Amino acid sequence: MSQALPYPSAPAQSESRGVLAIPAFRKLWKSMAFSSFGDWLGLLATTALASDLGGNYKKANFAIAGVFIVRLLPAVLLGPIAGVIADKFDRRRLMIICDILRFGLYLSIPLVHTYFWLYTGTAIVETVTLFWSPAKEASVPNLVPKDKLESANQMTLIASYGSAPFGGVMFSLLAGVSAIIAPFTNTRYSSTADLALYIDSITFLYTAWVVYQLKIIPRGAASKSAVNDNIGKSLIDGFKFVSHSKVISGLIIGMLGAFFAAGAVIGLGKTFVGDLNAGDAAYGILFVAVFTGLALGIWLGPKIFGQFSRRRIFGISLTISSAFLVIFSLVSNIVLAILMTITLGAFAGLSFVTGFTLLGLEVEDEVRGRVFAFVQSLTRISLLVVLAVGPVLAAVIGRHEFTIDNVHLHYSGAAFTLFGAGIIGLVVGIFSYKRMKDRPKVSFFSDIRAAFRGELGGITGKSHKGIFIAFEGGEGSGKSTQVELLKTFLVGIGEDVVVTREPGGTDLGKQLRKILLDPKTGEISPRAEALMYAADRANHVHSLIQPALARGETVITDRYLDSSIAYQGAGRIMEPNEVARISRWATESLTPNLTIILDLPADIGLARLNSIDRLEQEPLAFHERVRREFLNLANVDPERYFVVDGTARVDEIAKQIQDRISQIPQLKVNREKLKK
């Protein structure tokens, strides 16, 4: 296939309407949607034609494998180079020529009606597409303003992949048309596959006509350096980076597993449907089901599972998708098979969009390009392997019958192969989940329970433009000193730093601080105290922290919501989760990039104090409970917390903190810029 699987979700409705209001882009988009529809229809048609030409079970599977090989092999061998060569020519003229060639080639396949030309014509079509695609991608930025480019790219993906279900529906309808006209025509030229290929060819002729009318598409100028960016180099450069990252390696292995599972269904769909004694119409519906499920997962998955950690949901969704693939392989009813396909497609789609989102978030900007190139190269190779090897393996295994207590079970090589692909997906999904799992002390079922209680949103947090660092710890732990030392360090590497504290970071906070910490205030009920801290925090985030983060600044706060969990929760012997829920609601789930805990025995910390405020005068047992709760929080999520021994020398503590802070991706970028 000439296209990669989709990455991001669709743009907001207002954005899509805005970019489609541009006449030139709207024309190109409609032509892309129409030709993509034809391309998916062509995929169904060529695999069906290969199966028809194959004859017996083994030959049919080998024939289908051959189609997938010739569709993917040109992209593997020539993909990176073709884009550079294509950019040397007039893009508009190149696109027109490519579409006319694709029209003629697809039209010739059913007319010639031989194995040789099916494979040869398909390979030439895919090679031509390698030149058409980069010309199209490079033309889009010239048709829309810069601020609409992201929306335009997302709409392009919708045109490319949203048309797949329509291609499947059309293929199913053509199966009915073929049955009607078969008695009156030569069956050699009126099969479902033949009719689909005729329509497919017409879509490219229409695209050529639309592009011919777009006079504003300019010529391109190829980058000489890009010629060297071949798949081998992408694999080597990407492997060097990926091998040093536990999270990224687990992510990429998982993504390959997701493509492996989805590719198995696509590659063996025709054979599997035939084994269930269903025809071309059922094959088309199964194809629709795969992409409908993918679309549902990509579109709805992030909304439904938005509370969950992306790292966790990635491995879990891949595991669930693979489990449904195992069930799918055991099903002998076409209706149940289609329902299984939609479900496994939905979870595969969720893993796709989560995986590519994680790549964008976890990979540093300066190496992101080569990592994406690495992933795309591996994806092409993995798809080539599974789409080619799957049908071959099914052919070798053949059909088998089992009898258990007078019950006869029939399973084909396709079912066995799909079962094996599902098992491999399960292993890869579990591996990815364990390798990427954050908060290792917390099970996924605990997250589910927390989500039902409305607590999980704060645990997983929301992303923000700036860097947010919180200092926590018991009394006398030295937080204020380390806050100032860290500020000096960050300013020295070019960061814009805002230092604040809780309570007291705002005018309202200063008044609340007097009430909360002045011994003259006397006793406050634990719930009232927790609510007052939450009120200070809500105003603090709204008026100071959030605006600074929106400007891209680094915010360092002396205490944040973990102090309420430790002091008002564990210290006051209330339920820490209840206190946490209040603060998460107050802060709209704003979570620090890193929380530094200065750990110090309570008696040593209290001995350092020169004056005693209302909380500091609490008994030692209170402060010991506070300390234990801070350590419990860090133990649950060691990636987001950094515990430092507060008994060490001030300069040693500062050095440890600076080393840990320097691992934050945004700071890494800034330090590299400063070196240059």
Nearest to residue 157, comparing CAs of 3, 351, 370, 379? 3
- 453-675 architecture in CATH? 3-Layer(aba) Sandwich (3.40)
Residue matched to tokens 């596959």 = 193
Residue 105 has a pLDDT of: 92
| Percentage of the chain modeled with pLDDT above 90 | 16
Rounded distance between C-alpha atoms, residue 586 and residue 565, angstroms: 13
Q: pLDDT, tens digit, for every residue of 438-463? A: 766 666 777 777 666 666 655 555 56
Q: pLDDT, tens digit, for every residue of 502-560? A: 998 899 989 998 888 888 888 889 899 999 999 999 999 999 999 999 888 999 999 99
3-state secondary structure 291-326: HHHHHHHHHHHHHHCCCCCHHHHHHHHHHHHHHHHH
pLDDT above 50 for 464: yes
Could you tell me if residue 343 is left (phi over 0), alpha (psi between -120 and 50 degrees) or otherwise beta?
A: alpha
Q: pLDDT, tens digit, for every residue of 348-375? A: 878 877 776 676 666 655 555 556 556 6
Rounded distance between C-alpha atoms, residue 553 and residue 620, angstroms: 38
Burial of 305 (0-12, 13-18, 19+ CB in 10 A): buried
Rg of the chain taking only CA atoms, in angstroms: 30
State the CATH class of domain 8-225.
mainly alpha
For residues 391 and 415, the model is more confident at 415
What is the pTM (predicted TM-score) of this model?
0.61
Structure tokens at 513: 């601080």
Q: How many CB atoms lie within 10 A of CB 49?
A: 25
Average pLDDT, the chain: 78
Mean pLDDT of the 287-293 span: 80
State the CATH class of domain 230-437.
mainly alpha
- 582 with 537: CB under 8 angstroms? no
Mean pLDDT of the 614-631 span: 90
Residue 12 has a pLDDT of: 42
Q: pLDDT, tens digit, for every residue of 224-256? A: 444 444 445 555 555 666 666 667 777 777 777
Measure Cα distances from 582 to 201, 262, 578 in Å: 61, 42, 7
3-state secondary structure of 140: helix
Residue 225 has a pLDDT of: 43
For the chain, the structural domain boundaries read 8-225, 230-437, 453-675
Structure tokens at 27: 């024309």
- 446 with 437: CB under 8 angstroms? no
3-state secondary structure of 644: strand
Q: What does the longest C-alpha to C-alpha distance in the chain come to?
A: 102
Residue matched to tokens 């802060």 = 587
At 288, the pLDDT band (50, 70, 90 cuts) reads: confident
3-state secondary structure 421-435: HHHHHHHHHHHHHHH
Which stretch, 107-116, 261-270, 508-517, has highest mean pLDDT? 508-517
Residue 304 has a pLDDT of: 77
Rounded distance between C-alpha atoms, residue 25 and residue 33, angstroms: 12
Terminal-residue alpha carbon distance, the chain = 42
DSSP state of 224: G
3-state secondary structure of 596: strand
* Helix, strand, coil % in the chain, rounded to nearest 5: 75, 5, 20
Structure tokens at 572: 């006051």
Rounded distance between C-alpha atoms, residue 252 and residue 234, angstroms: 14
Residue 358 has a pLDDT of: 72
For residues 77 and 539, the model is more confident at 539
What single string gives the DSSP state of each residue in 393-412? Answer: HHHHH--EEEEETTEEEEE-
Structure tokens at 211: 């592009």
Q: Alpha helix (H) ranges present in 113-190?
A: 115-139, 149-161, 164-181
Measure Cα distances from 329 to 9, 233, 289, 347, 424 in Å: 29, 38, 15, 17, 13
At 114, the pLDDT band (50, 70, 90 cuts) reads: confident
Nearest to residue 290, comparing CAs of 256, 333, 324? 324
For residues 485 and 610, the model is more confident at 485
- Within this chain, domains 8-225 and 230-437 share the same CATH topology: yes
